[in-house]
Amino acid sequence: MLRDWLRLIRVPNVFTAMADVVMGFFFVTPAAALDARAGLTLGLLVVASSLLYSAGMVLNDVYDHEEDSRDRPDRPLPSGHIALVVARRLGFGLLAGGMATALLASFVAGHDGPWICAASLSVLVVGYDAFLKRTFAGPIALGGCRAINVLLGMSVAATWQRDGVQVAAVIGLFIVGVSVMARPEARRDDRPAMTTRLLVLLGVVLMMAAVGALWWLPDWRPILVQNPVWRGIVGLLAVLVAWRCARAVVDPAPAVLQRTVGQSIRSLVVLDAVITAAVAGLVPGVAVLALLVPNLILSRWFYST
C-alpha cells in the first residue's frame, strides 16, 4: 500500500521541487545570514513546496482517471489499489497542508510573501490538473507552477527582486519545454510521426533557450564566478540538454520519451545547484545538488512521469 501512495505522488520528483525552493531561498539570502529564524523559514517553505507538489501529482491522476483506466491500467487509481475518492481527499488535503505550512512560514518571516505564493500555486495546480492540461495553455500553466515554486523560496525576502523573477521565469520556461516534449507521450494519440518529432524538437529548443538565458545572469546581478567561466558552464549545460534529448527527437517512442522527460525533470536539480553555487557559494550549491541522490535512488523503483 505504501508503495502505491509513493507512486501516486511521484516521490522522486518531490526532491526537484525542494531544489527549486532551496535555490530560490539562497538566491535572496546570503549563506552567512542563515540564522535559526531563516533556517526555520526555509524548512517550512520546503515542506510547503513538497506538500503542494505532491497534491498536484495526486490530483493529476484524479482528473486523469478515465484516461489512465484506458491507457495506464496498472497505475494506483485505475488498478483499484487506491480508491478515487480517497485520492481526491488526499490531494485537496495536501493542498490545504501546503497552504497552512506556508501561512506558518509567513508568520515566522513576518510578511505575507510565502502565503501569497502558496495560494497562487494552489490555484494554478488545480487549474492545470482540472482544466488546462489538455489545452495549448497546459505547458504554460505547468511552467508557471514551477516559476511560482521558485518564488516561494524567494518569498523569504520582504520585497520581490527583478533578478529573482527573471531566474524563476528561466526555470518556468525550462518546464514549459519539458511539458511540450512530453505531450505526445502523455496523450498517447495518433499524431503523425513528423508532428510528434516537431513537438519534441520544439520542447528541446525551449529547454535550451531557458538554459541559454542564464548567459545573462551576471548582467542581472553579481555572481561569484568570473563571467567567462560562467558562460562556459551555461554553454556546456545547453549542449548536455541537447545531447540527452537527441534520441527522443530521432525516435519519439513512448518509452524513449518517458525516459527523456524523467531525465529532464531530474536535470532541474543540477540547474538549480549551478545557479545556487554561482550566487551563494559552493556549499549551498552542493546542498542543492545533494537532493539529486534521493531522486536517483527512488527513480529505480518509482516512475517520474
- pLDDT above 90: percentage of residues in the chain: 74
Question: Where in the chain are the domains?
Answer: 2-298
Instruction: Tell me the C-alpha distance between 34 and 14, whole Å.
Output: 23
Residue-level pLDDT at 191: 59
The confidence score (pLDDT) of residue 254 equals 83
Q: Is the confidence at residue 108, as pLDDT, over 60?
A: yes
pLDDT tens digit sequence for 18-28: 999 999 999 99
Residue that is written with C-alpha cell 496498472 in the block: 74
> Does residue 10 have a pLDDT over 80?
yes
Look at residue 251 in the predicted model and tell me its pLDDT.
84
Burial, 253: exposed, middle or buried (Cβ in 10 Å; 0-12, 13-18, 19+)? middle
- Residue 192 banded pLDDT, cuts 50, 70, 90: low
**What is the architecture, at CATH level 2, of domain 2-298?**
Orthogonal Bundle (1.10)
pLDDT number for residue 290 = 97
Confidence at 185, pLDDT banded by 50, 70, 90? low
What's residue 44's pLDDT?
A: 98
pLDDT confidence of 253, banded at 50, 70, 90? Answer: confident
Note the pLDDT of residue 66.
86
- How sure is the predictor about 80, in pLDDT bands with cuts at 50, 70 and 90? confident
Mean pLDDT of the chain: 92
pLDDT band at 187 (very low <50, low <70, confident <90, very high): low
The closest of 237, 256, 134, 148 to 193, measured between CA atoms, is: 256
Output the pLDDT for position 110: 92
Residues 6+ apart with CB under 8 A from 23: 150, 153, 272, 273, 275, 276, 288
**Spatial distance between the Cα atoms of 171 and 150, rounded to a whole number of angstroms:** 8
What global pTM score does this model have? 0.94
